């Protein structure tokens, strides 16, 4: 599953960021929240921040805590980047798999464009519910204290683990 997030749109919509005046702090907090979500859910997350008014000549791509963080270039909106990314990921996918590409935004026009291209829209409030639920489930799974991202081994069934162990021993 791929989740593409319109970063500034989500920051503007979630109450966690309402009292934060430092935009860099809000970005960092959202990055950490989505990294936790990605670790627990197994989803691939691309977080896009609008660089439209910046002086950057190129798109900046960073890998942070297991998610991709994108800062668009000068004169490029996050919406345009998201639309191109949706097109690229959906190209060649069968219709039944298209629901695995979701875009989180409250922008009604962007939601309409995303739906028309075959992806699924995810309103900010719904993403927030998923992030908080995943965080709660992760705490339960890991004993309520600090948590770690989901590993490959965490995703295996007991039967798969047993078979891999037999293969390791050469049986």
Q: What is the pLDDT of residues 72-107, one digit of tens each?
A: 998 899 999 999 999 998 987 777 666 689 999 999
Would the pLDDT of 109 be above 70? yes
Domains of the chain: 2-169 (3.40.50)
pLDDT mean over 137-154: 58
Mean pLDDT, the chain, whole residue set: 87
Note the pTM of the prediction, 2 decimals: 0.77
CA torsion angle for 89, 94, 96, 99 (degrees, to 10)? 10
| Beta strands per DSSP E along the chain | 2-6, 44-49, 60-64, 67-71, 101-104, 120-122
pLDDT tier, 134 (very low <50, low <70, confident <90, very high otherwise): confident
pLDDT mean over 46-63: 87
3-state secondary structure of 149: coil
- Measure the CA–CA gap between 159 and 168, rounded to whole angstroms: 14
The b/e string for 103-115 (b: 16+ C-beta within 10 A; e otherwise) is bbbbbeebbebbe
| Structural contact between residues 5 and 11, judged by C-beta atoms closer than 8 angstroms | no
More confident residue, 171 or 25: 25
């Amino acid at each position: 599953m791929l989740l593409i997030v319109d970063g500034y749109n989500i920051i503007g919509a979630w109450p966690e960021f309402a009292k934060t005046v430092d935009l860099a702090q809000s970005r960092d907090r959202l990055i950490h929240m989505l990294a936790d979500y990605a670790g627990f859910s197994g989803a691939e997350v691309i977080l896009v921040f609008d660089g439209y008014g910046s002086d950057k000549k190129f798109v900046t791509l960073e890998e942070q805590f297991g998610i991709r963080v994108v800062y668009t270039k000068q004169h490029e909106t996050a919406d345009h980047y998201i639309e191109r990314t949706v097109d690229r990921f959906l190209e060649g996918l069968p219709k039944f798999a298209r629901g695995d590409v979701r875009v989180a935004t409250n922008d009604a026009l962007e939601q309409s464009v995303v739906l028309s291209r075959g992806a699924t829209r995810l309103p900010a409030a719904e993403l927030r519910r998923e992030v908080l639920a995943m965080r709660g489930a992760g705490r339960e799974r890991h004993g309520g204290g600090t948590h770690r991202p989901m590993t490959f081994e965490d995703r295996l069934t007991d039967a798969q683990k047993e078979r891999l162990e037999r293969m390791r021993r050469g049986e």
